Amino acid sequence: MHNLTQNRELADLLFPDIQKTPEYYEVLYPKRQLPEGAKVTRFAPSPTGYVHMGSLYASLVSERLAHQSNGVFFLRVEDTDKKREVEGGVSNIIRALSRFGISFDEGVTDVDDEKGSYGPYKQSERMEIYKTFAKRLVEKGLAYPCFCSEEDLDKIRAQQEEKKETPGYYGEYAVHRNSTLEQVREELSRGKPFVLRVKAPDNPDSRFVFKDLIKGDVEMPENFQDIVLLKSDGLPTYHFAHVVDDHLMRTTHVTRGDEWLPSAPLHVQLFEMLEWEKPYFAHISPIMKMEGSSKRKLSKRKDPEADVSFYHEQGFPGISVIEYLVNLINSNFEDWRRENPESPNTSFKIELERMSVSGAMFDIVKLTDMSKDIVAGMTAEEVYNMSLEWAEEYDSELWALLSRDEKYAKRIFSIDRGGEKPRKDIAKWLDVKPNIFYFFDELFTRDAAEGYNFPDTIPADEVNRLIREYAKVYNHSDSKDMWFDRVKEFCEVMGYSKDVKTFKKNPGAYKGHVGDVTGIIRVAVTNRRNTPDLYEIMQVMGENMVMERFDKAINR
């Protein structure tokens, strides 16, 4: 057993270079002056550059919590594992999040830049801080060096497995826990590397209860493992860094994936050992994916849609993804949206208590539907600008066509848009090309070369006859009503009923109905059976293009 002076000696022995004190940092990073109820949250990724859907989800929760309470949302980079570091990773993460409208009030802003007065915000630059608090823990007899090698640890584990005991470094298995100062000195003099471990209370049966803002009251065993605080390279583990950083950065609400729930007792224990006020914890359930008949966490390795850049590539507007996620956070968002169709989604207040405690299945069909609604609400101008921007990066051919004649492109996007019931055909910018290709001869030609999509129910001869005759009566300067009147008249001449009802009443009397005829014209002009308003399409195309399409169809 160490007494107080021995602890102090040990602390100096382990951290001879640490001169600052915890008190120094308490003054350096004072409690934030914020309005009542303001929340301080953070996003704390490893600098891998990869942003998982689950991370976006969690960061969205954190961001909203902070910003809807006039609080602070900051970015901290958890780069204590060099193996995870990827060149340019930080910038990638920041860029990926900004595409979804998520920005930070303080923290890391780029590879070598940051803002805010609670930094540094990169853990690798906070070594002195961690060591200062580690030293204090040693002084208090709450942490100690452990010289076990990997092999030693393996041996312990093997022993425990054999006896069917809980594996880990604790109690009587914690061989270095009660080393004397002399023993430590000797190991050190032999140049042996060490890790710093917490001296956990040795009572495996004691229970720990805490209130999670999402999961509710959770009861678990108290932590009794002597978890590593400082690795042998001197860098802190997540556990220690989290506690030190979130205290010093004055985080009020720790929002993170629920894979952290099992280590929450450890974290709370550390807060208590350091005599710090505990933050609130909110453990977020993972986003799942259906595989066969069972669900599992969306996987970075297996699922392309787990990577948020997937949505950028597909051309989902960032706001669509965000609204989908907001709805996953609080499902009453949909009701709110219906009542507030014009409000920005940031006006919707999220509530942690309303979050689901179990993992939600990621539903790309629903995302697509929501996105269609959002795009349908955009102006032609917006659709043009956003699809152009997308095309610039992902589809140079489309980009060239859209920028070649801006006015023409915007007229295309104006069809069936802006009215009471806007067309819902575009969910993502990837959908644009297949929806508008027929307005461009080069794309249309390529498409028609694959074959025309005339219905099989009408013989080719009849198709040709209809197009040839229709081309003769087509008058490009007709108003919409006149155009349709003329179509109906044409139908009667050709032996088709001028409306569907008449045909249905007496199918034997006609070759078909007006829908069949317009269907043929539609395919001739667009090579699609489903399109927006045919009249509008032909008006936008212009007379020449329309007539050429008729020719081309007849001579196919």
Partner RNA sequence: GGCCCAUUGGUCAAGUGGUCAAGACAUCGCCCUCUCACGGCGGUAACAGGGGUUCGAAUCCCCUAUGGGUCACCA
Structure tokens at 226: 């002597």
State the DSSP string of 212-277. ETTTEEEEEEPP-S--EEE-TTSPBPHHHHHHHHHHHTT-SEEEEEGGGGGGHHHHHHHHHHTT-P
Residues 85-144 close enough to bind RNA by CB under 7 A: none
Is 203 near RNA (CB under 7 A)?
no
CB-nearer residue toward RNA: 246 or 425: 425
Residues 395-434 close enough to bind RNA by CB under 7 A: 416, 421-425
CB-nearer residue toward RNA: 130 or 384: 130
Buried b (16+ CB within 10 A) or exposed e, 515-538: ebbbbbbbbbbbbeeebbebbbbb
Structure tokens at 356: 């689901």
Residues 264-323 close enough to bind RNA by CB under 7 A: 286, 288, 290, 294-297
Is 254 near RNA (CB under 7 A)?
no
Is 165 near RNA (CB under 7 A)?
no
Taking the complex as a whole, the smallest distance from the CB of residue 548 to RNA amounts, in Å, to 20
Sequence-distant (6+) residues with CB within 8 A of 300 are 50, 52, 306, 307
Taking the complex as a whole, the smallest distance from the CB of residue 533 to RNA amounts, in Å, to 4
User: How many residues sit close enough to RNA to count as binding (CB under 7 A)?
Assistant: 82
Residues 469-498 close enough to bind RNA by CB under 7 A: 484
User: SS3 of 207, please?
Assistant: strand
Taking the complex as a whole, the smallest distance from the CB of residue 393 to RNA amounts, in Å, to 27
Taking the complex as a whole, the smallest distance from the CB of residue 139 to RNA amounts, in Å, to 22
| Residues recorded for the chain | 556
- Contact between 263 and 334 under an 8 Å Cβ cutoff? The reply is no
Residues 316-335 close enough to bind RNA by CB under 7 A: 327-328, 331-332, 334-335
Residues 508-547 close enough to bind RNA by CB under 7 A: 514-515, 518-519, 522, 529-535
For 199, half-sphere exposure in the C-beta direction (CA atoms, 13 angstrom radius) is: 19
Quickly list H helices, 100-149.
127-139
Kindly compute the dihedral angle of the four CA atoms of residues 162, 167, 169, 175, in this order, to the nearest 10 degrees.
Answer: -10
Query: Rounded to an integer, what distance in angstroms lies between the CA atom of residue 499 and that of residue 517?
Result: 11
- Contact between 311 and 394 under an 8 Å Cβ cutoff? The reply is no
Convert residues 170-189 into a mask of x (bound to RNA by CB under 7 A) and - (unbound). Answer: --------------------
CB-nearer residue toward RNA: 92 or 232: 232
Q: Quick one: which segment of 101-109, 359-367, 377-385, 548-556 binds RNA (CB under 7 A)? A: 359-367
Taking the complex as a whole, the smallest distance from the CB of residue 194 to RNA amounts, in Å, to 7
Is 43 near RNA (CB under 7 A)?
no
Residues 50-89 close enough to bind RNA by CB under 7 A: 78, 80-81, 84
Query: For the sheet containing 113-115, what is the strand order?
Result: 40-43, 72-75, 106-110, 113-115
Is 358 near RNA (CB under 7 A)?
yes
Q: Pick the binder of RNA from 193, 304, 434, 459 (CB under 7 A).
A: 193
Residues 207-246 close enough to bind RNA by CB under 7 A: 215-216, 218-221, 228, 231-233, 235, 237-238
